[in-house]
Amino acid sequence: MNQPGESGAAETFAELLARVQACTVCAAHLPHQPRPILRVSPTARLLIVGQAPGRRVHETGIPWNDPSGDLLRQWLGMTRDEFYDVSHIAIVPTGLCYPGTVNGSDLPPRPECAPLWHPQLRPAMPDIRLTLLIGAYAQAYYLDKRRGRTLADTVRAWRDFAPDILPLPHPSPRNRGWLKQNPWFEAEVLPALRERVGTLLATGDNGGAHKHI
Ligand code: SF4
């Protein structure tokens, strides 16, 4: 199987997306047939990297179509139409398929997924100027050793990752306690998030030199 740019004619964006959607690499570990859920376009400016689809997202095929997505849109100050405008906003989780649950909690994203697909998808979206890393799994994959000791440490250091990256906590209802214990997040990070995303979507500019992640 050719990787983009490997040999022969260059793979089109649609061909790359078709390969992603046909992926069965970790099918043996999934509770259902693989159903990769992502929204991508070659013109996207903002990339949202979350954890992995939950059951409701798996069933509807629409990412962030759940209470976590409602809170994320509230954080961003966006309507559903704005959020799902794939010409501007790409959504690629750390694990593209629903990994199942254990004792009522979602399992982690499959570890095969991000190293396989993110390095292929990311160069196919050259206009991305800001990546929101939502939750510990996205931060672990993209930041690796640059992560803080805790998620709060990483998010609190958000200025260190500007202008290309903004780490955020997961907007899951399970994280209400974290949000209450860390009021600086709403006071300090959310206004910056809204301002940066608003400027980016309006102008294509992230307010700093592009570093390429
Ligand atoms: S989780 Fe990722 S690697 Fe596994 S089947 Fe789905 S797309 Fe492929």
Q: In whole angstroms, how far apart are CA 79 and each of 66, 73, 115, 149, 189? A: 14, 7, 31, 34, 20
Ligand 1 atom nearest to CA at 52: 1
Q: Is 97 in the pocket of ligand 1 (CB under 6 A)?
A: yes
User: Which pLDDT belongs to residue 2?
Assistant: 42
Give the pair of three-digit tokens for residue 160: 């260190």
Q: What share of the chain is helix, strand, coil (3-state, %, to 5)?
A: 45, 10, 45
Residue with tokens 């974290």: 178
Atom 5 in ligand 1: residue holding the nearest Cα: 24
Summarize pLDDT for 75-108 with one digit per residue, the tens: 999 999 999 999 999 999 999 999 999 988 889 9
pLDDT tens for residues 155-164? 999 999 999 9
Q: Is the pLDDT of residue 195 over 70?
A: yes
* CA of 95, closest atom in ligand 1: 1
